[in-house]
Structure 1
Amino acid sequence: MSEYMLVLILSISVPLVLSFYPPLKIYRNIKGLFYSIGLILLIFGFWDIFATWRSHWYFNPEGVWPIRIANLPLEEVLFFVVIPFCCIFTWEVINYIKLRIK
């Protein structure tokens, strides 16, 4: 397993499990969640494709899996799904805590 994939799995594990805690209501607007993550994936995915195409940066083949989507390693594509989900989860947890404190 690549180190990049391991970091993604560790990043998503707690938010994914806790997102099913009913009072958090992470999935109350599932459509908005998908739109938000999709927009990030679209914008930054194209930017990443362009940057690698222009050789602004590259991905060391020894550090990522050989599976590629639009010439990006699978880990890089998943990054644009996992990290926005973690951010939205954190936002919802903070809002939940703020309401509980009042």
Structure 2
Amino acid sequence: MGHGAYLLILAACLVGTLPLELVLRVRVYARWRRLLAALLPVAVVFTAWDVAAIHAGWWRYDPRRTIGVTLFGRLPLEELLFFLVIPVCAVLTLEAVRARRPTWLIGDELSGDER
């Protein structure tokens, strides 16, 4: 795999979890404000971490695997997309489990006092 390999992997992750939204109707994309509340802290913190690590020389990204678009701090576009795509896939998976196994407790259920 050459240029764009990273993007292809991210696209495959989205395509692989899309049936959870469409078939199970978990409504993750329909509740976009809630999704954004989950995504933004992750994207901000880990983007800052990556930019700092790149600047310090702790790691780099193979230009043969990216499309060559870099953002502030030499951060590849694909890395920022990673911090958005992978949490979306995780939320879709969590909501699919919740939809299929409603009796399983995951820790964010409302107590009787909160309802």
Q: Shared fold (TM-score greater than 0.5)?
A: yes
Q: Is the 8 A contact 2:17 2:89 kept in 1?
A: yes
Alignment partner for residue 94 of structure 2, among 91, 94, 100?
91
Count of aligned positions: 101
Tell me, yes or no, if structure 1 residue 37 matches structure 2 residue 39. Answer: yes
Aligned to 1:59: 61
**Larger Rg belongs to:** 2
Richer in helix (by share): 1
> Amino acid of the residue matched to residue 70 of structure 2?
R
Q: Which runs of 5+ in 2 are unaligned?
A: 105-115
Q: Which runs of 5+ in 1 are unaligned?
A: none
Normalising by structure 1, we get a TM-score of 0.86
Q: Secondary structure at the match of 1:24?
A: coil
Q: Percent identity?
A: 27
Displacement of 1:29 in angstroms is 3.0
Normalising by structure 2, we get a TM-score of 0.78
After superposition, the C-alpha distances for 1:13-53 in whole angstroms (9 at most, x for unaligned) are 13235424474222453211012111110000000000011
> Amino acid of the residue matched to residue 13 of structure 2?
S
